Amino acid sequence: PRPILLTRHGESRDNVRGRIGGDTVLSEAGELYAKKLANFVEKRLKPERTASIWTSTLQRTILTASPIVGFPKIQWRALDEINAGVCDGMSYEEIKKNMPEEYESRKKDKLRYRYPRGESYLDVIQRLEPVIIELERQRAPVVVISHQAVLRALYAYFADRPLMEIPHIEVPLHTIIEIQMGVTGVQEKRYKLMD
Ligand code: G3H
């Protein structure tokens, strides 16, 4: 069995300000997480010479991967966060206040709701297909550093969770979800590296 490690990027400046989307750098706490993650990965995967680190194309995941040395890194656009379209850069409060109909329709059907000029969870699930195929094909461990909405979908695939649940799965910051795929099925461990 070989592990797949799933983690969100370290806390970003926009996480601190409560804004969605964007492409900011890490907060101080986020930078600390990047260092802790590097330590963890180097210890956990040291014997696995062929492991690789996959990130999105957004700064916050690339910066989270940057303290990890000795493993190849691959950037996937398909691992980018859900595109919030016209709401990119807004806080949920602002969306609720300025675009109440959008806010309500998303609340009613978060799985199917598509942000104007952006994506729905179903869109994200669809664009993840090539990533999943490649993850299944890999023999070596993979560390996936991505974003909340994307990781909800990836996690649901491996943990076999129903579609309707995906937008509500908890994927906390600063926590590694380790998935082991063995003959007896999928096993999961969580490592919370900091609060
Ligand atoms: O920026 C997007 C969030 O990570 C996704 O969260 O789908 O619960 O709004 P949400």
pLDDT in tens, 149-163: 999 999 999 999 999
Helices in 58-164 by DSSP H: which ranges? Answer: 59-65, 92-98, 100-108, 121-127, 129-137, 148-159
Side-chain-side CA neighbours of residue 177 (13 Å): 26
| Distance from the alpha carbon of residue 195 to the mean position of ligand 1, in angstroms | 19
**Which atom of ligand 1 lies closest to the CA of 92?**
9
Does the Cβ of 148 fall within 6 Å of ligand 1? yes
For residues 8 and 55, what is the distance between their CA atoms, to the nearest angstrom?
10
Does the Cβ of 166 fall within 6 Å of ligand 1? no
**pLDDT number for residue 49:** 72
For residues 181 and 30, what is the distance between their CA atoms, to the nearest angstrom?
29
**Percentage of the residues of the chain whose pLDDT score is greater than 90:** 92
Q: Tell me the average pLDDT across 102-123.
A: 98
Q: Tell me the average pLDDT across 90-115.
A: 98
Closest residue to atom 2 of ligand 1, CA basis: 20
**pLDDT number for residue 2:** 85
Helices in the chain by DSSP H: which ranges? Answer: 13-17, 28-45, 59-65, 92-98, 100-108, 121-127, 129-137, 148-159
**Percentage of the residues of the chain whose pLDDT score is greater than 70:** 99
Cβ neighbours, 10 Å, residue 109 = 12
| Distance from the alpha carbon of residue 175 to the mean position of ligand 1, in angstroms | 17
In one-letter notation, the amino acid at residue 16 is: V
**pLDDT number for residue 126:** 98
**Is 81 among the residues known to form the active site?**
yes
**Three-state DSSP class for residue 134:** helix
Does the Cβ of 149 fall within 6 Å of ligand 1? yes
**pLDDT number for residue 184:** 82
For residues 136 and 13, what is the distance between their CA atoms, to the nearest angstrom?
33
Selecting among 19, 106, 147, 174, the annotated active-site residue is: 147
Are 127 and 53 within 8 A, CB to CB? no
**Is 8 among the residues known to form the active site?**
yes
pLDDT in tens, 125-136: 999 999 999 999
| Distance from the alpha carbon of residue 167 to the mean position of ligand 1, in angstroms | 8
| Distance from the alpha carbon of residue 148 to the mean position of ligand 1, in angstroms | 6
